[in-house]
């Protein structure tokens, strides 16, 4: 098994643009795109990952927010850094492009069907009560509409974000827990850095 100790799974890793730490043994990176500059740990469709049942505790899901686009026609539809610099030398960059996968699905119906199938597979892979961090940008579809397709999850927290280059559309970070399961508190705590108990006691005074 790849990275058996990793309790977190990024189900749509892309070029890992959302991560401050681009490589970690604590995170298993999945993606289906073959031309990414930063290769995933496992190249697979996140609707059928092949991962064991109930094997991870925390998931990150930043799916395509758009549909009907063509590949390699803009920075945001180009997964390869070399190809991006070749096509747009005037915008030369040293970091991989923020590829969003908007070329993967050609219609709203197709994209929504993908979200429904992916959330089922994520629920299968994560432990009962597992935690999922979902990112969504409302460039085409409202967040309230896509959440109807996350039938195996309860929304606990929504955080709005305005992103440079996406100022006309709202981005949301959404925290979901699997329905009908205990929260795996120990595993989740182990994922984060340990707290300084001295500072914690001082803050409570």
Average pLDDT over the chain reads 88
Residue 188: per-residue pLDDT: 54
CB atoms under 10 Å from CB of 191, counted, come to 15
Domain extents for the chain? 8-203
> Quick check: helix, strand or coil at residue 153?
strand
pLDDT tens per residue across span 119-177: 999 999 999 989 999 999 999 999 999 999 999 999 999 999 876 654 568 899 999 99
Tell me whether residue 40 is exposed, middle or buried, using C-beta atoms within 10 angstroms of its C-beta: 0 to 12, 13 to 18, 19 or more: buried
At residue 163, the 3 state secondary structure works out as coil
Q: How far apart, in whole angstroms, are the C-alpha atoms of residue 32 and residue 36?
A: 9
Residue 12 CB burial class (10 angstroms; 0-12, 13-18, ≥19): buried
Q: Tokens at residue 178, please?
A: 């699997």
- CATH number, domain 8-203, options 3.40.50, 3.30.70, 1.20.5, 3.90.1280: 3.40.50
Give kind and range of the element (H or E) at residue 112: helix 108-125
């Amino acid at each position: 098994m790849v990275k058996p100790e990793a309790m977190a799974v990024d189900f749509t890793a892309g070029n890992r643009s959302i991560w401050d730490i681009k490589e970690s043994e604590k995170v298993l990176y999945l993606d289906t795109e073959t031309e990414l500059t930063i290769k995933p740990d496992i190249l697979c469709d996140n609707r059928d990952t092949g991962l064991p049942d109930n094997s991870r505790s925390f998931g990150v899901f930043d799916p395509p927010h758009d549909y009907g686009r063509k590949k390699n026609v803009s920075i945001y539809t180009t997964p390869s850094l070399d190809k991006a610099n070749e096509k747009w030398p005037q915008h030369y960059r040293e970091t991989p492009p923020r590829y969003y996968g908007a070329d993967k699905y050609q219609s709203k119906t197709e994209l929504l069907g993908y979200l429904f199938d992916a959330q089922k597979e994520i629920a299968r892979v994560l432990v009962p009560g597992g935690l999922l961090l979902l990112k969504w940008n409302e460039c085409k579809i409202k967040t309230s509409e896509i959440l109807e397709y996350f039938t195996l999850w309860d929304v606990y927290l929504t955080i709005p974000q305005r992103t440079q280059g996406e100022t006309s559309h709202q981005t949301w970070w959404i925290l979901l827990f699997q329905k009908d399961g205990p929260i795996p508190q120990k595993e989740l705590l182990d994922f984060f850095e340990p707290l300084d108990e001295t500072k914690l006691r001082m803050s409570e005074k």
